[in-house]
Amino acid sequence: MKVLLLRAPLKNRITADMSDIFDEDVGVYPPLGLLYLHASLRQMRPRDEVNILDCISEGLDRPAFIGRFLEFKPDIVGITVLTFHLLDVYRCAAAIKKNLPDTIIVLGGPHAHLFPEETLGNPDIDYVITGEGEFSFPLFIDNLENGTVPSDVPGIFYRGPGDSIVRGNPPTLIKNLDTIPPIDFSAVRIDKYMPAMEKEQAAILMSSRGCPYKCIYCDRPHLGNIYRTHSPMRVVDDMKRAVNRGIRSFQFFDDTFTIIKSRVLEICDLIAEEGLNITFSIRARVNTVNEELLIALKKAGCRRISFGVEAGSNRMLKSLRKNITVEEVIQAFRLCKKIGIETLADFIIGGPDQTRQDVLETIDFALRLNPSYAQFTIMTPFPGTDLYQLGMDKGLIKTDYWREFAKNPAENFETPVWEEHLKREELLELFQLAYKRFYRRPGYILKEVSKIRSFGEFYRKARVGLKALSV
C-alpha cells in the first residue's frame, strides 16, 4: 500500500478564543500525531510506502498540494482534523477525489472523534477512526488489503448499505505507551519547524497522554481522561534519538508533565546520567510542583514552564473547576523565579459568573504575578466540554451549534464566546486591554530586549511582540 499522512493546507480556518491571532507569527509545530502514525505503520506494515506531507510547514496551497499528491498517487490518505480546520480538510478531500476517485480517505483526530457520523455525511470521506490511531490504523489497512469487513477495528465508522452508518468496535486507549514505536524525525523536514519562543531548532514530544483533571472548559476527547505515561527511560531515549539528529531543544506537549513527581525526578536523573546537553519546556499545574522538583528540572535543562492560571481569584478558579488556589499560583511562580525557570501564564477573559470587575481583577493579578510571558484568551465553549453542556443547560447556548457546523460547515461561522455577563464586544475590549497592560510596560520591554542573543531570535520575538502591542 502507498499511504499519505496529510496535514492539509489552511486557508479558511475558523477563529476561536482569539488565541489564533498569533498563529502566523509563533512558528509551525511538527505534526506529532502524524509522526506517531508514521512510526506505527513503518513498524507494523514495513512493506508499505508511507509519507508525511505537511502542507503548512512547506507553504503549499491546495493546487500545489494536488501536484505533490499526483506525484505520489497514494492508495490511502489519512488526515488528522481539528474542527477549526474542517473547511480546508473537506476541500482537500474533494480535490483528492476529483483527481484520483479511488483513493481512500480516512479521517481521525479530535473532530472526527466527536462527530464521526456527521463527518461521514461528507461523501468524500470514506472512513473515520476515533480514539488513538497508532494500532487501529494499521489494523484497518490490514482489513483493506485482505478484503475483509473492517468492523473489528477499534473506533471505526463507515457507510454501510443504503448509506447507513456502521459503527465498529469501541475505541480503546493504549494503556502502555511504550508499545508505541518511537517517532522518526527524518520523516519530516525538521528544519522547517521553528517556534517563535525557542532559541534554536526544537522537537516536540509527548511523554504522557490523558488528563485526570476536570476543568470545565477543557476536553481531550480522543486521548481520554485516564492518565498514561511513557517510562522515564523511553522519554530519555526519544530525546537521545533527536539529539543524534542535531536537535538539543524540546517542547513537551503533555497536558501536565508533572503529575507524578517521582517519574519527573527519574527523567531528570537519566538526562544527567546520559550527559544530554539539552533544554526543554513543559506544561504543568501550580499544585504539582515544589522546590525540589523545580531544582531538578532546572538542572536537567528545563528553561520554561507553562502554567494554566486562568483567573485572579479563588472564587473564579473554583467556578472553572481548576482545583488550585491563588496562593498556590503565587508560590509556584515565586519558586520558578527563585530557581531561574521562565514562566508562561495562561489567563482566560470571561467565564461562568464573571463580571467586568472580575476580568479586571484577573488582569491586575497577571501584572502582580509578573510571569516571563502571558497569554490571554476569550472563554469559548468548545465541543465536548462541560462548559458547552452548562451553556445549553442554562439556555445561554440555544442550539447545538458545533454539531450543526459539523453537519454543514460554513465559511461565515463565528465561534461563539461565553456571553453570560459580558457581550462579545466587551470581551474583545478586555482582551485587548490585557495585552496592552501586560506587554506595554517599559520595564518588561527592556528586560526582554536584554535577553535576545541573535538576530533570528530578535526577529521572531519582535513579530510576536509587535502583534501583542497592536492587539
321 phi-psi bin (left φ>0, alpha ψ -120 to 50, beta other): left
Residue partners of 100: CB distance under 8 A and separation at least 6: 69, 70, 73
- CB neighbourhood size of 200 (10 A): 13
Residue-wise pLDDT tens digits, 176-222: 999 999 999 888 887 777 655 556 677 889 999 998 899 999 877 67
Angle of the 291-300 helix axis to the 326-339 helix axis, nearest 10 = 40
Written in H, E and C, the secondary structure of the chain is CEEEEEECCCCCCCCCCCHHHHCCCCCCCCCHHHHHHHHHHHHHCCCCEEEEEECCCCCCCHHHHHHHHHHHCCCEEEEECCHHHHHHHHHHHHHHHHHCCCCEEEEECHHHHHCHHHHHCCCCCCEEECCCCCCHHHHHHHHHHHCCCHHHCCCEEEECHHHCEEECCCCCCCCCHHHCCCCCHHHCCHHHCCCCCCCCCEEEECCEECCCCCCCCCCCCCCCCCCEECCHHHHHHHHHHHHCCCCCEEEECCCCCCCCHHHHHHHHHHHHHCCCCCEEEEEECHHHCCHHHHHHHHHHCEEEEEEEEECCCHHHHHHCCCCCCHHHHHHHHHHHHHHCCEEEEEEEECCCCCCHHHHHHHHHHHHHHCCCEEEEEECCCCCCCHHHHHHHHCCCCCCCHHHHHHHCCCCCCCCCCCCCCCCHHHHHHHHHHHHHHHHCCHHHHHHHHHHCCCHHHHHHHHHHHHHHHCC
> What's residue 458's pLDDT?
47
Residue-wise pLDDT tens digits, 420-456: 999 999 999 999 999 999 999 988 888 877 766 554 5
> What's residue 11's pLDDT?
86
> What's residue 149's pLDDT?
82
Tens digit of pLDDT at every position of the chain (471 positions): 999 999 999 888 777 655 555 555 556 788 999 999 999 999 999 999 999 999 998 999 999 999 999 999 999 999 999 999 999 999 999 999 999 999 999 999 999 999 999 999 999 999 999 999 999 999 999 999 999 888 899 999 999 988 899 999 999 899 999 999 999 988 888 777 765 555 667 788 999 999 889 999 987 767 778 899 999 999 999 999 999 888 889 999 999 999 999 999 999 999 999 999 999 999 999 999 999 999 999 999 999 999 999 999 999 999 999 999 999 999 999 999 999 999 999 999 999 999 999 999 999 999 999 999 999 999 999 988 999 999 999 999 989 999 999 999 988 888 889 999 999 999 999 999 999 999 999 888 888 777 665 545 544 555 555 555 555
CA count, 13 A, side-chain hemisphere, 299: 17
**2-167 is classed in which CATH architecture?**
3-Layer(aba) Sandwich (3.40)
- Domain(s) of CATH 3.40.50.2300: residues in the chain: 2-167
> What's residue 185's pLDDT?
86
In 3D, which of 293, 374, 273 has the Cα closest to residue 339?
A: 293
> What's residue 459's pLDDT?
45
Judge if pTM exceeds 0.75: yes
> What's residue 263's pLDDT?
98
Q: Which residue has the cell 490571554?
A: 376
- Domain(s) of CATH 3.20.20.70: residues in the chain: 197-380+417-439
What nine digits make up the cell of 31?
505534526
What nine digits make up the cell of 195?
517556534
CA of residue 103 relative to chain centroid, distance? 28
**The CATH fold of domain 197-380+417-439:** TIM Barrel (3.20.20)
> What's residue 469's pLDDT?
54
| The amino acid at 390 | L
